[in-house]
């Protein structure tokens, strides 16, 4: 009897030892999977940041900005509050402007152009569109743009479906789907032509 009891006890000890080994193995596998998952998440996150940075710094498509018109207005010339300015270009691209800038973002109403010019002095791009554009076309424009240092508004008597303007630069676009819009924004929003980059908008 003693021999049987010893044998059973030994078998139980072996089973317990095997269960412990199995648990340890499962635990190691689980830890390995968690580690792999964390590493993959970090790689994906780093890749996403890298892609976003690269996307924001890509050069414009070659030739896309060949038709950009350039001007040579000096910065820093303020009018008195609400004093209208007779601009040579329509929409304006520089020159005297209101002491107060326009808050960047999308507007369904016409903007005070003297304030919009001040925003462009701070590095904003001003995308104007024909007020006769269909609502879905305006939504397409909004979907293509960020409100960061961007103004979007209708503009009377525009003479084109869409016009992109920044300080001393302007591009007439063929419509809301014109691919040159993205190139213009990439090149000129807070671009080298900006007299006061980083100023509030």
103-142 pLDDT, tens per residue? 999 999 999 999 999 999 999 999 999 999 999 999 999 9
Q: Are the C-beta atoms of 141 and 176 separated by less than 8 Å?
A: yes
Q: Does pLDDT of 40 surpass 60? A: no
Residue with tokens 């397409």: 140
Confidence of residue 45 (pLDDT cuts 50, 70, 90): very low
pLDDT, residue 59, reads: 60
59, with CB counted inside 10 A (0-12, 13-18, 19+), is exposed
What was the pLDDT predicted at 114?
96
Of 186 and 43, the structure prediction assigns the larger pLDDT to 186
- Which pTM was predicted? 0.70
Instruction: Find out whether 154 and 131 touch, Cβ atoms under 8 Å.
Output: yes
Q: Are strands 162-166 and 169-173 parallel, antiparallel or unpaired?
A: antiparallel
Of 77-81, 84-88, 106-110, the poorest mean pLDDT is in 77-81
Residues paired with residue 121 on neighbouring β-strands, in sequence order:
none
| Tokens 């676009």, located at residue | 173
Beta strands per DSSP E along 47-132: 69-70, 105-106, 125-129
Query: pLDDT confidence of 83, banded at 50, 70, 90?
Result: confident
40-48: average pLDDT: 47
Helix (H) or strand (E) holding 153: strand 150-154
Alpha-carbon span 93 to 77, nearest angstrom = 13
Tell me the range of 13-27, 47-61, 68-82, 127-141 where mean pLDDT is highest. Answer: 127-141
Q: What is the mean pLDDT of residues 89-102?
A: 96
| Secondary structure letter of residue 199 according to DSSP | -
Alpha helices in 93-194 (DSSP H): 113-121, 135-144, 180-188
Where is pLDDT greater, at 121 or 57? 121
pLDDT given for residue 56 in this prediction? 43
* Tokens standing for residue 136: 């879905």
Longest Cα–Cα distance of the chain, Å, equals 114
């Amino acid at each position: 009897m003693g021999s049987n009891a010893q044998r059973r006890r030994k078998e139980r000890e072996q089973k317990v030892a095997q269960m412990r080994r199995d648990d340890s193995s499962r635990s190691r596998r689980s830890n390995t999977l968690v580690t792999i998952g964390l590493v993959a998440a970090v790689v994906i996150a780093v890749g996403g940041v890298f892609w976003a940075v690269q996307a924001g710094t890509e050069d414009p498509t070659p030739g896309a900005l060949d038709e950009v018109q350039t001007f040579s207005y000096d910065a820093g010339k303020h009018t008195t509050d609400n004093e209208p300015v007779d601009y040579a270009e329509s929409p304006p691209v520089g020159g005297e402007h209101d002491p107060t800038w326009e808050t960047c973002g999308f507007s369904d109403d016409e903007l005070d152009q003297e304030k919009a010019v001040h925003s462009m002095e701070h590095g904003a791009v001003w995308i104007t569109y024909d007020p006769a554009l269909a609502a879905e076309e305006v939504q397409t424009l909004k979907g293509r743009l960020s409100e960061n240092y961007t103004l979007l508004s209708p503009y009377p008597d525009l003479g084109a479906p869409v016009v992109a303007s920044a300080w001393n630069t302007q591009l007439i676009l063929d419509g809301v789907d014109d691919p040159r819009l993205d190139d213009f924004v990439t090149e000129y929003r807070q671009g080298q032509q900006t007299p006061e980059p980083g100023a509030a908008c």
